[in-house]
Amino acid sequence: MRLAKFLAHAGVASRRGAEEIVRAGRVTVAGRTVTDPARDVDADSGVAVDGRFLEGPEERMVFVVNKPLGVLSTAADTHGRRTVVDLVPARGARLYPVGRLDADSTGLILVTNDGDLAQRLTHPSFEVPRTYRAAVRPVLVSERALRTLREGVDLDDGRTAPAKVRQLRPGVLELTIHEGRNHQVRRMCEAVGHRVRTLQRVRFGPLRLDDLPEGAHRRLKAAEVEGLRRTSAAPVSR
């Protein structure tokens, strides 16, 4: 098994994060520093990260969390601020968030130790849909603005892909996008003249936030995890 994949399966980080850890010189194999993420290893190779030996793949777990306002979507914070991982009892597993959700946004985020799944769910080529609910000002959103959001908005980092957009009530929009640019929903709304006051992610792939209380979490059932795998089964070709 490739070293980066081994680390991801062991719950160290996502596949991409594991590659960065290896290239940074933090991994040893049989006592020697290795910087090639493609190095073949197994459970008997003596793989260690920052001096801590890994015994091999741990039980894979995926949790859905309802992130509160101000909580960071990182595994840890150097300033001691609360993160989404803090909201989930680790049970000895090294968990990390799947993608990011801004500190000033709330709602559904996944936390896992399954590096392969995390990589697929966040890679742009798989186009996993994410649905957000945005409260905007001014509250009167014109049909022209809605049409622009649906067809694609010109941002400073390029035109957005078509999105599904509907106005639930005056000043409240529901947007489904397949990209993961920084602050994308906020920037899209601002581009058509509406500032986002609050932003909540209510759906990720086939998963819905539903009535999960703010700050709470639950472990996904096997069927739900399989649904996520099917959602990211193959890259979208255009």
- Amino acid identity of 150? R
Phi/psi of residue 53, nearest 5 degrees? -75, 145
How many angstroms separate the CA atoms of 130 and 177, rounded? 6
Q: Are 132 and 196 in contact (CB under 8 A)?
A: no
Q: Which residue is listed with tokens 């739900």? A: 224
102 is catalytic: yes
Q: Which residue is listed with tokens 């008997």? A: 44
**Catalytic-labelled residue, pool 102, 114, 116, 156:** 102
Q: Which residues are catalytic, by number?
A: 102
